[in-house]
């Protein structure tokens, strides 16, 4: 087991751990992961250090880690759960800026976009009501931009400007990319490098980020999965290795 | 199936539904993304001359098809997706050529807009939208301030009132009682209640007593007949979207649709084969079966 674990941990597996950590200490709330790596992370957290988390089957059923149904959550109740706040979602982002404003709607001029994407989806209601983290499988200056073209998920500066109703439940715990983990633990709530994944340099992160990132004097590495966690990732939560399709090692 | 004389029979064909629609109407379309969309009714709409529509939809291929045919004047939505294929190519192309006006709102604002319309309220307050560019791209949106001590500010999500709603369910009777048997009702009851006229297509038309046979729970009876104008039996009428438990999404066909939709020449061929202007729903279902045979 140890030989299997040491030296052979992939980037995707560090990403799974970094995503799982987003839900640490969240208690009895719904973990809503979007994407293969966050899904593996949420299930890993549920199986280890966050046993009270609720998970869905991706449709309308609340399920245990073995798939056993324990509740019903169709879209209408899911939206009610969002506004009740007992949920921590990890969304994707086509663009994200230094204050955590996120875009999944379109690139370019909204009236006639150069690239139409999904639309705002539930990003506005999510960001004003429950903690929202982000997962970005390919860290690049095209994603980490100075200003997003359409604010779907509300960042710290925009929430502050919109007033108390916007800030009351607004929180962006973390951003995880294939290069590192980021948070907003700065005086002006701009993005900060919290850790780099093993094998990544701080300069690499800076080069791949389209805005000035706050970088502490010493940047820790994202932690390794324990042997138990690694076995769970490989054998239980993602035996089909869907994580490798999102993150190239 | 005999109908007692005192029971009003609301059954009609897809063509009869579309005959009741007019250009310029505001039409709500039920389902969600590529899930339980009233596709047979959308296909009938494509064969009609009805155009210049305001479409209200949690968008999927319903929006894609209507956009490709140039029938949409304005779209009200929070997203358009094929679910297993994230982006809808027709929608994407239509937006990128500025083909119609868009009212882009959040998923919850949309839901509360349906509730407001169903409850005959002008709006409902929602903690979503402020701080986001939903406010910038919809300058007509207003906020309301709580009259209580908290004084909080919310978006007044406007009622999404519609001239007609189109939804697809698993079962229905002739009077318009509709039943869903899958895991999620989506918002089809609200669409029906938010509309002046609502048309329910179903996988299978049954007698009223059959709706609760085999211990089907009464809470599966999603849509009540007082909110329904017409009922259409269209087996496979949600195709190629999912209609659990009757059938899953037709993933290979959806993939073929998406590939064709991304290329004008391929689309012309696809449309000629599956959506001829002089065709009908039966012909569509036959063409799909033949296509699947070829894929074997």
Which of A59, A111, A166 is nearest residue B98 as measured by Cβ atoms?
A111
For CA atoms B115, B119, B123, B125, the dihedral sign is negative
User: Nearest 10 degrees: CA dihedral of B37, B39, B41, B47?
Assistant: 150
Which of B97, B132, B183 is nearest residue A124 as measured by Cβ atoms?
B132
SS3 for B131? coil
A226 touching B (Cβ < 8 Å): no
Residue of A108, A119, A246 best to disrupt the B interface, most CBs of B under 10 A: A119
Taking only the tens place, the pLDDT of each residue in A35-51 is 999 999 999 999 999 99
Contact list in A for residue B124 (CB cut-off 8 A) is none
Please give the pLDDT value at position B248: 98
Percent of chain A with pLDDT over 70: 97
Which of B132, B184, B187 is nearest residue A59 as measured by Cβ atoms?
B184
pTM tops 0.90: yes
A119 touching B (Cβ < 8 Å): yes
Taking only the tens place, the pLDDT of each residue in A21-34 is 999 999 999 999 99
**Residue A5 pLDDT exceeds 50:** no
| Cis preceding linkage at B240, omega within 30 | yes
Would you say the ipTM is above 0.90?
yes
A135: CB partners within 8 A, 6+ apart: A19, A33, A34, A35, A37, A38, A90, A91, A92, A93, A175, A176, A177
* B185:A124 CB<8 A: no
CA distance A10 to chain B (A): 27
Please give the pLDDT value at position B3: 59
Angle at B236 between CA B117 and CA B197, to 5 degrees: 25
CA distance B74 to chain A (A): 13
Question: If interface means Cβ-Cβ distance under 8 Å, which residues of chain B face chain A?
Answer: 32, 59, 77-81, 86-87, 91-92, 95-98, 104-109, 111, 126-134, 136-137, 152-154, 183-187
**Which residue's entry shows tokens 């089909």?**
A240
A63 touching B (Cβ < 8 Å): no
Q: Which of residues 83-112 of A touch B (CB under 8 A)?
A: 83, 105-106, 110-112
* B131:A110 CB<8 A: no
* A112:B131 CB<8 A: no
H or E segment and range at residue B204: strand B195-205
Which of A72, A105, A114 is nearest residue B96 as measured by Cβ atoms?
A114
Contact list in A for residue B104 (CB cut-off 8 A) is 105, 110, 119-120
Confidence tier at A91 by pLDDT (50, 70, 90): very high
Angle at B236 between CA B235 and CA B240, to 5 degrees: 165
Confidence tier at A248 by pLDDT (50, 70, 90): confident
Which of B107, B109, B183 is nearest residue A61 as measured by Cβ atoms?
B183
**Which residue's entry shows tokens 């992961």?**
A33
Here the tokens at position B201 are 């297509």
* B91:A158 CB<8 A: no
* A110:B97 CB<8 A: no
CA distance B129 to chain A (A): 5
3-state SS track over A191-219: CEEEEECCCCCHHHHHHCCCCCCECCCCC
Q: Mean pLDDT per segment of 10 residues, for chain B of length 296 residues? A: 74 98 98 98 98 98 98 98 96 98 98 98 98 98 96 97 98 98 98 98 97 92 98 98 98 98 96 97 98 96
* Radius of gyration, alpha carbons of chain A: 18
Contact list in B for residue A102 (CB cut-off 8 A) is none
Percent of chain A with pLDDT over 90: 95
Contact list in A for residue B79 (CB cut-off 8 A) is 118-121
SS3 for B100? coil
Taking only the tens place, the pLDDT of each residue in A118-133 is 999 999 999 999 999 9
CA distance A246 to chain B (A): 15
**Which residue's entry shows tokens 């982006």?**
B87
**Residue A139 pLDDT exceeds 60:** yes
Tell me the mean pLDDT in the region A65-73.
94
**Residue A2 pLDDT exceeds 50:** no
Which of B77, B131, B187 is nearest residue A154 as measured by Cβ atoms?
B131
Contact list in B for residue A120 (CB cut-off 8 A) is 78-79, 104-106, 132-134
Residue of B107, B118, B150, B153 best to disrupt the A interface, most CBs of A under 10 A: B107
Please give the pLDDT value at position A249: 73
- Give per-residue burial for A32-49: e unless 16+ CB within 10 Å, then b: bbbbbbbbbbbbbbbbee
Residue of A72, A95, A97, A116 best to disrupt the B interface, most CBs of B under 10 A: A116
């Amino acid at each position: 087991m140890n030989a299997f674990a040491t030296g052979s941990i992939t980037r995707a597996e560090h990403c799974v751990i970094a995503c799982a950590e987003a839900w640490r200490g969240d208690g009895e709330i719904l973990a809503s992961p979007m994407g293969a790596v966050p899904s593996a992370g949420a299930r890993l957290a549920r199986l280890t250090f966050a046993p009270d988390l609720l998970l869905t089957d991706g449709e309308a059923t609340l399920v245990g880690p073995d798939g056993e149904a324990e509740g019903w959550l169709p879209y209408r109740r899911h939206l009610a759960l969002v506004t009740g706040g007992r949920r921590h979602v990890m969304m994707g982002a086509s663009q994200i800026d230094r204050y955590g404003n996120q875009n999944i709607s379109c690139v370019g001029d909204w009236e006639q976009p150069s690239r139409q994407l999904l639309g705002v989806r539930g990003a506005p209601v999510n960001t004003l009501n429950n903690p929202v983290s982000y997962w970005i499988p390919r860290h690049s200056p095209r994603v980490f931009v100075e200003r997003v073209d359409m604010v779907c998920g509300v960042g710290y500066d925009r929430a502050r400007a919109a007033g108390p109703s916007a800030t009351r439940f607004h929180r962006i715990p973390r951003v995880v990319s294939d290069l590192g983990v980021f948070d907003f633990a700065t005086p002006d709530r701009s993005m900060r490098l919290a850790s780099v994944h093993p094998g990544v340099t701080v300069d690499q992160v800076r080069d791949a980020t389209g805005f000035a990132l706050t970088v502490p004097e010493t940047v820790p590495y994202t932690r390794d999965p324990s042997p138990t966690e690694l076995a769970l990732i490989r054998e239980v939560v993602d035996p089909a290795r869907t994580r490798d399709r999102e993150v190239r090692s | 199936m005999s109908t007692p004389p005192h029971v009003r029979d609301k059954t009609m064909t897809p063509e009869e539904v579309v005959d009741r629609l007019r250009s310029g109407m505001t039409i709500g379309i039920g389902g969600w993304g590529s899930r339980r969309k009233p596709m047979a009714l959308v296909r009938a709409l494509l064969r009609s001359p009805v155009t210049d529509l305001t479409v209200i939809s949690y968008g999927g291929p319903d929006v894609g098809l209507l956009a490709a045919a140039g029938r949409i004047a304005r779209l009200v939505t929070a997203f358009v997706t094929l679910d297993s294929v994230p982006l809808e190519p027709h929608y994407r192309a239509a937006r990128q050529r500025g083909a119609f006006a868009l009212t882009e709102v959040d998923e919850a604002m949309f839901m509360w807009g349906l509730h407001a319309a169903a409850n005959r309220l002008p709006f409902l307050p929602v903690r979503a939208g402020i701080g986001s560019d939903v406010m910038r791209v919809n300058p007509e949106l207003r906020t309301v301030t709580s009259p209580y001590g908290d004084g909080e500010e919310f978006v007044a999500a406007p009622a999404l009132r519609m001239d007609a709603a189109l939804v697809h369910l698993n079962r229905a009777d002739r009077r318009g009682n509709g039943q869903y048997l899958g895991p999620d009702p989506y918002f089809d009851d609200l669409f029906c209640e938010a509309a002046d006229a609502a048309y329910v297509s179903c996988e299978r038309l049954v007698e009223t007593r059959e709706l609760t046979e085999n211990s089907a729970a009464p809470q599966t009876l999603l849509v009540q007949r007082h909110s329904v104008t017409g009922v259409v039996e269209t087996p496979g009428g949600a195709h190629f979207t999912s209609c659990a438990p009757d059938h899953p999404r037709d993933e290979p066909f959806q993939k073929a649709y998406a590939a064709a939709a991304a290329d004008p020449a391929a689309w012309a061929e696809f449309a000629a084969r599956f959506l001829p202007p002089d065709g009908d729903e039966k012909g569509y279902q036959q063409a799909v079966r033949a296509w699947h045979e070829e894929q074997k």
